[in-house]
Amino acid sequence: KAGVTQTPRYLIKTRGQQVTLSCSPISGHRSVSWYQQTPGQGLQFLFEYFSETQRNKGNFPGRFSGRQFSNSRSEMNVSTLELGDSALYLCASRTTDRVGYGYTFGSGTRLTVV
């Protein structure tokens, strides 16, 4: 069974540009979450999608957005990139709506803003 797939693995962008990151969950998983990981702030919740609906959003500016498609694949977009957006972006999926079950994470996309 394939795991959570995130593409691309690495990305270098220039300040002011926008970027789109992709996440393909495990087959059958309908819930997808995104997290930002930085050395200074640690792991911070971005948003969660379930059946194409955003259920919750973390404390990030409106430049961060996301969506989920009918096949459960998800994308997140960051517009007007800033140097501080450099981070590892992790996607995670799970099959059940029961919150007690742990998510399966992908290996992340390492975004560097120069």
Partner 1 sequence: AQTVTQSQPEMSVQEAETVTLSCTYDTSESDYYLFWYKQPPSRQMILVIRQEAYKQQNATENRFSVNFQKAAKSFSLKISDSQLGDAAMYFCAYRSAAGNQFYFGTGTSLTVIP
| Residues near partner 1 (CB under 8 A) | 3, 33, 35, 42-43, 45, 48, 55-56, 58, 88, 90, 92, 99-108, 110
| Residue labelled with tokens 């919740």 | 45
User: Cβ of residue 16: shortest distance to partner 1, in angstroms?
Assistant: 27
Q: From CA 34, how far away is CA 56, in angstroms rounded?
A: 11
User: Cβ of residue 53: shortest distance to partner 1, in angstroms?
Assistant: 11
Q: From CA 80, how far away is CA 55, in angstroms rounded?
A: 24
Beta bridge partners of 47: 34, 57
Nearer to partner 1, 33 or 72 (CB): 33
